[in-house]
Chain A
Amino acid sequence: MAVTGQLASVRRDLRERDVRVVITALVVAVATVATISLFASLLQRALVTSASAFLAADRQLEAEHGRPIPPDWYQEANRRGISTASMVEFSTMVFGGDRFQLVAVKAVSDAYPLRGQIEMQVGEGAERELVSRGPRPGEVWLNPRLMRLLALDMGDSLEVGNQALTVSGLLLREPDGGFSMAALAPRIMMHADDVPATGVVREGSRVEYVALFAGEEPELEAFHRWLEPQFHPSHEWKSVQDGETLSRSLQRAERFLLLGGSLAVLLAAVAVAVASREYALGQRDTVALLKTLGLRGGAISRLYLRRLALWGVAGCAGGLLLALPIYYGLAQVLSEVLERPVAAELDWRALLPALVTALVALFGFAYPPVRRLRQVAAMRVLRSEPGESGRRAWPDILLAGLAVFGLVWFYAGELAMVTALLGGVAALLAVLALVAWLMVLGLRHLRGGGTAWRLALVALYRHRQSTLSQVSVFAMTIMLACTLILVRSSLLDDWQAQLPENAPNHFLINIAPEKVDAVADFWEQRGHPLAQLYPMVRGRLTELNGQPVKEAVSKDERINALNRELNLTWMSELPADNALVQGQWFEAGARDGVSVEYELAERLGLKIGDRLGFTIGSDTLSETVTSIRTVQWESMQPNFYMAFPPDGQLAAMPSTWITSFYLPTSEKALLNDFARAFPTVSVLEVDHIIERIRAIVQQVTQAVEAILALILAAALVVMAAVVSATLRDRQREGALLRTLGGQQRLLVRSTMLEFALLGLVAGILGALAAEAAVWALQLRMFEGEFQWHWSVMLPVPLVSAALLSLFGRWQLAPVLKVSPMLLLRRLE
């Protein structure tokens, strides 16, 4: 058939209401999935870009032990179209006026930062600026506290080794201000070209060289593959995904978007299934007639398959046309929210899920009832046969189930999530069928009340089959929406819980054992008591069960913890935010054993009873793993991979102490008094990092809200599809009721009541099912505990009842406008 013929055929099909509903459902499905996946891909890029700002690049290569990064590595990167920058980090004493101070120096090249911006001021009280470059050669920027400590002003001279630099700015925030334990002292930033003249950095001095790379993902990956064989153990390759705190947030955001996408897929499938079933029911007489005219089953199947294919094309085209403006609108909103806007490119690969969805929705959901049309008996032209038996519907349900599973799996790519989601749906449907049936049975006895009330109850009971399926579909939609709301709020609560309002934002490091009490007293007296102090010994994990650890673990595993010194501690009690996964915590007076952090233990394949060897300075230490525990790295408390008993061998090693505490910005001046009282103790200010994490959480929240709104819109369209699928019966019934003497007001009231009852029951069931699904999700994904969400549970059934009763009123409007005379003529 020529294109015009196909178009004419679609036009002809469109005259049928059910076909319009199927195509509309497809349009909505494709539009929703396309918008969500386009938007998700945009968001991914935005988040990665935003997160890259955390590294000041897309990738960082760190080299410890004073080995500069070979220049040809930079050249190779540039040759591959990757931009580069470099930094050198070291600690040294600086002199300003007549004072001196130990500082952490960051010397950066011209191109720094490749991602993100530096926040600085050109003087106390000057405007805060965001700039994309560091100090020029001959200049230096100082942390404001250091400025005060050294009593310096703008334009004064600061001596770094042999080189005098002019103070030209206050350094407020670095994009890669993430903390490592090497960053012990207040920060100064200078230009990398000035480093040789200082004479501070020599071969073998304690210096960290960092190369920064930014570029397209495939090039960066290829470059990493080229680079990897040349790495020395002191080299550490860092990507956004490796940043502990942020990557967790990103992973959750990613999961959430996928979850949203999967829910949209389910909604789409429901809409198509409902509408196509109605279509097939309406086609039975036509098929019977065609059979009477001599058409065989095969030909009928082909006829309907061709129609389905045409609808698919129409649905995809319409869906994409609808998705693009929505996507660009959302991208616009997002770019207003984001600190660093991302161009709203059209990622054609992101459209694939939408097209696959259309195909699966058509053939997994629309096709089965249509396929069964070939079984319609020609006899039907003479006499209506009883309805289809449930037995014949089973293969359809199985096929639809498999289609949903495959589709959601394809979309989310994660079995646990798919299982939880579909498990929730299956459980919901089972419970729904049962409860809805009980409800219908119960309603039989509820015949009191006014006429409208009675009619509503009677209508629910009379249409028990469609009541049952409507309650199921509504409840499922409500469940999806509630799950989304609950998951969203519990995700955010989760994030907020990790970063409570007064999360520690300062670390005190390098506290000598004999100063511990004095330091604690200092802050106690000033109203900021220190929660917990931990001893810290730096050491490397070198042996596993007598073997060198790098041989003992798989070469494929890239374990940063093995490449650097670990912070080892001893403690008598398990910290509140740690949780024991395996083994026993140290008993009082225990001398032996070590407790290992869970993820490291997983990656090293450690189990209880393994023997670990550590090298600490010139000493070695060997201990047996006695427990494995989880650690909340995001908690901003000191956390340790390895913990030893307080009376063990580690306690005999030379140690320093560490703690963290919350200090509001308004009291930052106290740090100056502290630095004067305890010049050897280092203060690490992480309040800027916390601020950044909060900002990112905020962005993700906004994106999530946008997606939530989209899915809720999809849910409403599904509801419309279901309601309009029963419209024909309702019109007929309405006309008849009016002919038999029912008044318009009565019809309106009874319909609104009927829908309100439907909505109430569906709301209760949906909210309950959502609780169950969320619990399953949290258990699997977020390791949360079950709790009732009353704030969602209580209003949802009421809102659902109100919404559906208005919806029913709206649906009934066409029936009320038509004269019963005309209705009767049309129906006859």
Chain B
Amino acid sequence: MPDQTPTDMPSSQSMLKVEALSHRVDLGDDTLTILQEVSFDIARGESVAIVGRSGSGKTTLLGLLAGLDSPSSGRVVLDGEEISALGEDERAALRARRVGFVFQSFQLLPALSALENVMLPLELAGHEAPEAQATELLERVGLGQRLRHTPRQLSGGEQQRVAIARAFASNPAVLFADEPTGNLDNRTGKTISDLLMALNQEQGTTLVMVTHDEQLAQRCQRRLSIDAGRVTEPEEQH
């Protein structure tokens, strides 16, 4: 990345632009505010860690950024498209083209082999040769010998590697990761985060990651701290 700081970047360089984003849940008598007037930009190719205590609104923010849900108010612009103004199917189409996901509990389909799990987004995007590309990716993450294994025959670390291969399969512009090492031991977690960062670097992907893992957060270029629904201290790390 050039020397410019992300906040100075022109908006054309911005991958994610969040403006006055609020999210409230109606509880009948009461309204629970989960996110309140959140605004920030994330630059193309930047890696950002969203940190905060449990229940602070991290997962909700991630879901809104990825267009899994619509905000109560405010805007999210992803790669120039206002995702918060799109219908559900349009958001899905945008995700198919631009977005990859890594989840804490891996979210692999148990009936499918490692290879088939990685092929899934490729098939959704109508890719020509999903099997070849999926195989190549699995080899990249060191699972070339376990293509036909189902998730239940793989360890947690191996499952997360499959999930990472799947996330990068569609060559996404943005990768959203929700506690990617949360279910793993320190050593495996380290291996996984190395892999994630390396692939991210290699592919020039924008990485937005929710994490409790201080070490992993440290490895991101930037950290957004969230507390009681507000992004309190955006700060530069590197």
Residues on A with beta carbons closer than 8 Å to the beta carbon of B126: 451
Q: Is A306 an interface residue (CB 8 A)?
A: no
**CA of A737 to CA of B69 in the docked complex: distance in angstroms?**
15
Known: A737-B124, A739-B101. A462 touches B107 (CB 8 A): no
CA distance in complex: A113, B99 (Å): 87
Residue interface bits B172-186, CB-to-A below 8 A is 1, else 0: 000000000000000
Q: Quick check: B69 and A821 within 8 Å, CB to CB?
A: yes
Task: Give the distance in Å from the alpha carbon of A107 to the alpha carbon of B69 in the complex.
Answer: 91
Q: Are A738 and B69 in contact (CB under 8 A)?
A: no
Interface bits B94-115 vs A (CB < 8 Å: 1, else 0): 1111010101110101111000
B68 part of interface (Cβ distance < 8 Å)? yes
Given A740-B121, A741-B124, check contact A821 B111 (CB 8 Å).
Answer: no
With known contacts A451-B126, A740-B96, A740-B101, A819–B69 Cβ distance under 8 A: yes
| B70 CB to nearest A CB, Å | 8
Docked CA distance A454–B109 (Å) = 18
Most A-side CB within 10 Å, residue of B88, B112, B120, B121: B120
Instruction: Please tell me if the beta carbons of B109 and A824 are within 8 angstroms of each other in the complex.
Output: no
Interface readout for A369-399 with B: 1 if CB under 8 Å, 0 if not? Answer: 0000000000000011111000000000000
Q: How far is the CA of A29 from the CA of B123 in the complex (A)?
A: 42
Q: Is the CB of B59 within 8 A of A825?
A: yes
Interchain CB contact (< 8 A) of A744 among B92, B111, B116: B92
Interface check B157, CB cutoff 8 A: no
Which chain B residue has the least Cβ–Cβ distance from A746?
B124
Tell me if A824 and B107 are in contact (CB < 8 A). Answer: yes
Count A-side interface residues using an 8 Å CB cutoff: 35
- B69 A743 Cβ-Cβ under 8 A: no
A736 touches B107 (CB 8 A): yes
Q: Which residues of B contact A736 (CB under 8 A)?
A: 107, 109, 120
Residue numbers in B under 8 Å from A286 (CB-CB): none
Within 8 A of B (CB), among A731-765: 732-733, 736-746
Closest to A455 in B: B123
- Shortest CB-to-CB span from A459 to chain B, Å, is 10
Whether A217 sits at the interface, judged by CB under 8 Å, is no
Q: List A residues 792-828 near B (Cβ within 8 Å).
A: 819-822, 824-825, 827-828
CA distance A33 to B88 in the complex (A): 47
Q: Taking the complex as formed, is B152 at the interface, i.e. its CB lies under 8 A from any CB of chain A?
A: yes
State the Cβ distance, B112 to closest chain A Cβ, in Å: 5
Evaluate contact between B101 and A387: CB separation under 8 angstroms: no
Query: In the complex, what residues of A have CB within 8 A of residue B166's CB?
Result: 740
Given contacts A455-B123, A825-B59, contact A741 B68 (CB under 8 A): no
- Bound: A729/B150 CA distance, A: 15
CB–CB A739/B89 < 8 A = no
Scoring A455, A732, A824, A827 by chain B CB atoms within 10 A of each residue's CB, the highest score goes to: A824
Q: Which of A454, A466, A739, A828 is within 8 Å of B111, CB to CB? A: A466
Contact B123 A462 (CB under 8 A): no
B112, A462: Cβ atoms closer than 8 Å: yes
B99 and chain A: residue at smallest CB distance:
A741
Which chain B positions have C-beta within 8 A of A737? Answer: 120, 124
Whether the pair B107, A827 counts as a contact (CB closer than 8 A) is yes
Q: Is there contact, CB below 8 Å, between B121 and A465?
A: no
Q: Does B125 contact A (CB under 8 A)?
A: yes
Q: Are A387 and B125 in contact (CB under 8 A)?
A: no
- The reply to whether B103 and A828 contact each other, CB–CB distance below 8 Å, is yes
A451 proximity list for chain B (CB < 8 A)? 123-124, 126
In the complex, chain B residues 149-166 whose Cβ is within 8 Å of any chain A Cβ: 152-153, 155, 166
Which chain A positions have C-beta within 8 A of B124?
A: 451, 455, 737, 740-742, 746
With a cutoff of 8 Å between Cβ atoms, the chain A residues found around residue B69 in the complex are 819-822
* A743 and B153 form a contact (CB under 8 A): no
B101 to A, closest residue via Cβ: A739
Quick one: given A386-B153, A744-B89, A819-B69, are A458 and B111 in contact (CB under 8 Å)? no
Residues of A within 8 A of B155 (CB): 383
**A465, B111: Cβ atoms under 8 Å?**
yes
Task: Encode B33-75 as 1/0 by CB contact (under 8 A) with A.
Answer: 0000000000000000000000000010001001011000000
Given A463-B111, A732-B109, A820-B68, CB of A743 within 8 Å of CB of B152: no
> In the assembled complex, which residues on chain B have CB atoms less than 8 Å from the CB atom of A822?
69
Give the complex CA separation of A465 and B150 in angstroms.
13
Contact B104 A741, beta carbon cutoff 8 Å: no
- Do B95 and A739 have beta carbons less than 8 Å apart? yes
Q: Report how many residues on chain B are interfacial, defined by Cβ distance under 8 Å.
A: 35
Decide if B93 touches A458 in the complex (CB within 8 Å).
no
Name the residue on A nearest B119 (C-beta): A458
Report the bound CA distance from A387 to B59 in whole Å. 33
Instruction: Determine how close the nearest CB of chain B comes to the CB of A397; give it in whole angstroms.
Output: 22
Docked complex Cα distance between A451 and B121 (Å)? 12
Query: Bound state CA distance, A742 and B116, in angstroms?
Result: 16
Given contacts A740-B96, A741-B97, contact A386 B105 (CB under 8 A): no
Among B68, B105, B112, chain A packs the most CB atoms within 10 A around the CB of B68
- Chain A residues lying within 8 Å of B123, measured Cβ to Cβ, are 451, 454-455, 458
Q: Please report the C-alpha to C-alpha distance between residue A820 and residue B62 in the assembled complex, in whole angstroms.
A: 13
User: Shortest CB–CB separation between residue A801 and chain B, in angstroms?
Assistant: 23
Specify which of B95, B110, B111, B152 is in contact with A740 (CB 8 Å cutoff): B95
CA separation between A387 and B111, bound complex, in Å? 11
B93 touches A462 (CB 8 A): no
B contact residues around A729 at 8 Å (CB): 109-111
Q: Which of B103, B104, B123, B170 neighbours the largest number of chain A CB atoms within 10 Å of its CB?
A: B123
In the bound assembly, the distance between CA atoms of A144 and B104 in angstroms comes to: 94
Known contacts being A824-B107, A825-B59, is A742 close to B96, with CB within 8 Å? yes
**How near does chain A come to B174, taking the closest CB pair, in angstroms?**
12
Contact of A828 among B68, B104, B153 (CB under 8 A): B104
Distance (whole angstroms) from the CB of A496 to the closest CB of chain B: 51
Q: Chain A 448-473, CB within 8 Å of chain B: the 1/0 string?
A: 00010011001000110110000000
Structural contact, B105 and A828, CB atoms closer than 8 A: yes
Closest Cβ–Cβ distance, residue A160 to chain B (whole Å):
88
- Assess the A741–B96 pair: CB atoms within 8 A: yes
Chain A residues near B120 (CB-CB < 8 A): 736-737, 740
Please, how many angstroms separate the alpha-carbon atoms of A57 and B166 in the complex?
81
- Report Cα–Cα, A386/B101, bound state, in Å: 26
Nearest residue (CB) in B for A742 is: B124
Please pick, from B89, B152, B170, the residue contacting A387 in the complex, using a CB distance under 8 A.
B152
Q: How far is the CA of A463 from the CA of B123 in the complex (A)?
A: 16
Closest to A450 in B: B126
CA distance A729 to B152 in the complex (A): 15
Point out the residues of chain B lying under 8 angstroms from A733, CB to CB.
109
Report whether B121 and A821 are in contact in the complex, using a CB–CB cutoff of 8 Å: no
**A741, B109: Cβ atoms under 8 Å?**
no
Q: Could you tell me the distance between the alpha carbons of A451 and B124 in the complex, rounded to whole angstroms?
A: 7
C-alpha gap A828/B182 in the complex (Å):
12
Residues of chain B within 8 A (CB-CB) of A463 are 111
Bound-state Cα–Cα, A387 to B124, Å: 28
**Residue from B63, B89, B152, B170 in contact with A821 in the complex, judged by beta carbons closer than 8 Å:** B63
Within 8 A of B (CB), among A575-627: none
A residues within 8 A CB of B112?
Answer: 462
Closest A residue, CB atoms, query B153: A386
CA distance A820 to B103 in the complex (A): 14
> Which residues of the other chain, A, contact B121 by a CB distance below 8 angstroms?
740-741
22 pairs across A/B with beta carbons < 8 Å? Answer: A451-B124, A454-B123, A462-B109, A462-B112, A463-B111, A465-B111, A729-B111, A733-B109, A736-B109, A736-B120, A737-B124, A738-B92, A739-B66, A740-B121, A740-B170, A741-B96, A742-B124, A745-B89, A819-B69, A819-B88, A827-B107, A828-B107
Q: Which 7 A-B pairs have the closest CB atoms?
A: A741-B96, A821-B68, A821-B69, A741-B95, A743-B89, A821-B63, A384-B152
* 18 new A-B contacts at CB < 8 Å, known A458-B123, A824-B63, A824-B68: A451-B126, A462-B111, A462-B112, A729-B109, A732-B109, A736-B109, A740-B95, A740-B96, A740-B120, A740-B170, A741-B93, A741-B99, A742-B92, A742-B96, A744-B92, A745-B89, A820-B69, A824-B107
- Identify the A interface with B (CB < 8 A): 383-387, 451, 454-455, 458, 462-463, 465-466, 729, 732-733, 736-746, 819-822, 824-825, 827-828
